[in-house]
């Protein structure tokens, strides 16, 4: 039975937003909780008054969208319009309030997405690989997670009667979206086939099942992304990749259960079905547009059945969610920015970042700054670098052309000490150079080729198939550990300033929306 808590018990009165107003540090099992005020950050902030209430909250997460990625995408977007590029701003860079976020996990200096999104959704930092459970949990151990689940902001929003939605270009069960609604000690437990015997014995549920069996409020109103295989049984063929089946062992078709569980519910899996959805008539929408992750934006037009863009999914979500007079919470993830970086393909990382910025623009145009808090951030960065002293306006994906002693562009490429040209953007580690005819992920099927082993003089480094050089040979390029930016506007956004723990995202959403999280956490089942 789903439970909605009385709003009068949950929502505080008018408030003054300041870092000093944030909730006191909590602890997990007596261990340090790594909250902002636990580190004394609040003492450095000035009082920032804002008496507006955030009826709606939209959190945009560019997975792996570090500052170097933002800078390079900004330049590329400008250059695609015929400009030099450096003077451009991505849509979210025009938001008025900016801070830096420290991304480490409690057990890792360089984080993973499960731990970072847990911090943003629950206000508690945790370990790498675990989803919305506290740091005392042993990764992969179901029994250790029992009683250590952390209530998420999405769950809180449902408990006070708001509508909620999750949109991503990854599988809906991937770490970042999963941390909004699920609680597991292992991020890879995406369907029941992934559960080890210990997890089954101790009653842990897979992530896809937790989405469908969500216990709070009216359930999620919108959930869109990829990952059909985790919702379909092995006995059923995928509707798009018909030679393949679902991966569930329990013979449940969770997409059908979604439709039967809710009034005015719909399930869609292709562009035509998505386009046909009338937001006025549909109250619960599940969209699963690929068997695994959705396409990169560049490859989306080639999808077999067609799939919507991130901006289109954002628009449809808002049209459905805003019907609720109590407001809504929506999380939108540009998840494949991260995947392109892991594959060493800057082209797709940057073009997906540009599409992510378009989704932010869509949300800003469809909402009111006076009652909607918009937050744009990343969960972590990547070892993606930009350097070499190129001249102004040099193609960001191109080979470096420098300036001469007079400050004018040189006639040819700048050469390294090995006599070969080099690109402006590169990776510190990863699989290294490749030039492939098809998408970024095909890089995993060719040998690792790191270091300066290929003369790039006659290679088109701006082509979609070019994979940048890398220094340290690894099977996959890694995350980076530096701070990431937070951009924000709307009620409560002025609390974002300075250098903060990543938990500040939860704290600001919670405070701006006026949700009494302490009451909720004490009184949930």
If pLDDT is split at 50, 70 and 90, which confidence band does 440 have?
A: confident
Q: Is the pLDDT of residue 17 over 80?
A: no
Q: For 66-88, what is each residue's pLDDT tens digit?
A: 999 999 999 999 999 999 999 99
45-54, 330-339, 411-420: which has the minimum mean pLDDT? 45-54
How far is Cα 133 from Cα 146, in angstroms, rounded to an integer?
A: 9
Q: Which pLDDT belongs to residue 443? A: 83
Q: Which pLDDT belongs to residue 522? A: 78
If pLDDT is split at 50, 70 and 90, which confidence band does 429 have?
A: very high
If pLDDT is split at 50, 70 and 90, which confidence band does 442 have?
A: confident
Supply angle C-alpha 21, 23, 29, rounded to 5: 160
Q: Which pLDDT belongs to residue 19? A: 40
If pLDDT is split at 50, 70 and 90, which confidence band does 388 have?
A: very high
If pLDDT is split at 50, 70 and 90, which confidence band does 38 have?
A: very low
Instruction: Tell me the average pLDDT of the chain.
Output: 92
Q: Which pLDDT belongs to residue 33? A: 55
DSSP character at residue 360: H
Bridging pattern class, strands 284-288 and 265-268: parallel
In this prediction, residues 11-35 reach a mean pLDDT of 43
How far is Cα 87 from Cα 120, in angstroms, rounded to an integer?
A: 31
Q: For 474-485, what is each residue's pLDDT tens digit?
A: 999 999 999 999
Comparison of pLDDT for 20 and 467, the residue scoring more: 467
How far is Cα 285 from Cα 320, in angstroms, rounded to an integer?
A: 8
How far is Cα 288 from Cα 504, in angstroms, rounded to an integer?
A: 31
41-45, 53-57, 292-296: which has the minimum mean pLDDT? 41-45
Residue 308 neighbours by CB under 8 Å, 6+ apart = 224, 271, 274, 275, 287, 289, 316
87, two tokens: 């003077």
Q: For 371-386, what is each residue's pLDDT tens digit?
A: 999 999 999 999 999 9
Q: Which pLDDT belongs to residue 525? A: 56
Sign of the four-CA dihedral 172, 175, 181, 183: positive
Q: Which pLDDT belongs to residue 3? A: 52
If pLDDT is split at 50, 70 and 90, which confidence band does 518 have?
A: confident
Q: Which pLDDT belongs to residue 520? A: 84
CATH of 7-23+54-383+478-523, one of 3.50.70.10, 3.30.40.10, 1.20.1250.20, 3.40.720.10: 3.40.720.10
Domain residue limits, the chain = 7-23+54-383+478-523, 387-477
In this prediction, residues 296-316 reach a mean pLDDT of 98
In this prediction, residues 514-525 reach a mean pLDDT of 80
Q: Is the pLDDT of residue 8 over 60?
A: no
Residue 219: closest CA among 250, 193, 254: 254
50-54, 113-117, 195-199, 258-262: which has the minimum mean pLDDT? 50-54
Does the annotation count 113 as an active-site position? yes
How far is Cα 424 from Cα 65, in angstroms, rounded to an integer?
A: 18
Q: Which pLDDT belongs to residue 43? A: 38
How far is Cα 256 from Cα 286, in angstroms, rounded to an integer?
A: 10
Q: Is the pLDDT of residue 44 over 60?
A: no
How far is Cα 448 from Cα 137, in angstroms, rounded to an integer?
A: 36
In angstroms, how far is CA 192 from the centroid of its own chain? 24
Q: Is the pLDDT of residue 273 over 80?
A: yes
If pLDDT is split at 50, 70 and 90, which confidence band does 174 have?
A: very high
- First CA to last CA across the chain, in angstroms? 11
Q: Is 86 exposed, middle or buried (0-12, 13-18, 19+ CB in 10 A)?
A: middle
Comparison of pLDDT for 27 and 494, the residue scoring more: 494
DSSP character at residue 440: G
506, two tokens: 């939860």
The proportion of the chain whose per-residue pLDDT surpasses 90, expressed as a percent, equals 86
β strands within 360-483, DSSP E:
372-378, 381-382, 384-386, 425-430, 434-435, 466-467, 470-473, 479-480
Q: How many CB atoms lie within 10 A of CB 242?
A: 9
Q: How many CB atoms lie within 10 A of CB 41?
A: 18
Number of residues assigned to the chain: 525
Q: Is the pLDDT of residue 27 over 70?
A: no
How far is Cα 64 from Cα 175, in angstroms, rounded to an integer?
A: 13
Q: Is the pLDDT of residue 6 over 50?
A: no
Q: Which pLDDT belongs to residue 14? A: 38
Q: Which pLDDT belongs to residue 39? A: 40
The 3-class SS string of 15-58 reads: CCCCHHHCCCCCCECCECCCCCHHHCHHHHCCCCCCCCCCCEEE
Q: Which pLDDT belongs to residue 35? A: 58
Q: For 113-157, what is each residue's pLDDT tens digit?
A: 999 999 999 999 999 999 999 999 999 999 999 999 999 999 999
119, two tokens: 């911090």
Q: Which of 33, 68, 101, 113 is catalytic?
A: 113
């Amino acid at each position: 039975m789903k439970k909605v808590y009385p709003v009068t018990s949950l929502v505080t009165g008018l408030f003054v937003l300041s870092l000093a107003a944030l909730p006191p540090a909590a602890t997990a099992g007596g261990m340090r909780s790594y909250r902002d005020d636990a580190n004394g950050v609040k003492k450095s902030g000035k009082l920032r008054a804002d008496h507006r209430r955030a009826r709606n909250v939209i959190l945009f997460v560019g997975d792996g969208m570090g500052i170097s990625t933002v800078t390079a995408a900004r330049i590329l977007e400008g250059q695609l319009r015929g400009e030099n590029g450096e003077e451009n701003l991505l849509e979210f860079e025009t938001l008025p309030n900016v801070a830096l976020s420290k991304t480490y996990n409690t057990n890792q200096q360089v984080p993973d997405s499960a731990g970072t999104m847990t911090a943003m959704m629950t206000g508690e930092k945790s370990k790498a690989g675990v989803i919305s459970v506290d740091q005392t949990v042993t990764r992969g151990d179901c029994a250790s997670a029992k009683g250590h689940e952390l209530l998420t902001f999405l769950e809180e929003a449902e408990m006070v009667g708001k509508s909620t939605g999750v949109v991503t270009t990854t599988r809906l069960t991937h770490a970042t979206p999963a941390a909004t609604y699920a609680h597991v000690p292992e991020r890879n437990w995406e369907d029941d086939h992934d559960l080890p015997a210990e997890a089954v014995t101790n009653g842990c549920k897979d992530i896809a099942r937790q989405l469908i069996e969500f216990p709070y409020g009216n359930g999620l109103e919108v959930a869109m992304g990829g990952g059909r295989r985790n919702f379909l049984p092995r006995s059923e063929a995928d509707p798009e990749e018909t030679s393949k089946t679902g991966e569930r062992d329990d013979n449940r078709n969770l997409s059908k259960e979604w439709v039967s569980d809710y009034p005015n519910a719909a399930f869609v899996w292709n562009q035509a079905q998505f386009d046909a959805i009338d937001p006025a008539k549909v109250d619960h929408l599940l969209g699963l547009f690929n068997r695994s992750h959705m396409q990169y934006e560049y490859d989306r037009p080639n999808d077999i059945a067609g799939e919507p863009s991130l901006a289109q999914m954002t628009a449809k979500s808002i049209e459905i969610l805003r019907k609720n007079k109590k407001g809504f919470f929506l999380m939108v993830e540009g998840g494949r920015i991260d995947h392109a970086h892991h594959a060493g393909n800057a082209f797709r990382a940057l073009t997906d970042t540009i599409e992510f910025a378009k989704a932010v623009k869509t949300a800003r145009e469809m909402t009111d700054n006076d009652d909607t808090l918009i937050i744009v951030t990343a969960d972590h960065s990547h070892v993606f670098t930009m350097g070499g002293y190129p001249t102004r306006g040099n193609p960001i994906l191109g080979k470096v052309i420098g300036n001469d002693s007079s400050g004018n562009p040189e006639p040819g490429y700048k050469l390294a000490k090995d006599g070969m040209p080099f690109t402006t953007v590169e990776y510190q580690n990863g699989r290294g150079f490749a030039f492939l005819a098809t998408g970024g992920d095909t890089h995993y099927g060719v040998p690792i080729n790191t270091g300066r082993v290929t003369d790039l003089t006659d290679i088109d480094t701006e082509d979609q198939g070019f994979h940048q050089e890398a220094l340290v040979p690894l099977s996959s390029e890694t995350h980076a550990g530096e701070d990431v930016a937070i951009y924000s506007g709307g009620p409560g956004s002025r609390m974002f300033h300075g250098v903060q723990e990543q938990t500040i995202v939860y704290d600001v959403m919670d405070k701006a929306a006026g949700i009494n999280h302490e009451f909720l956490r004490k009184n949930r089942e």
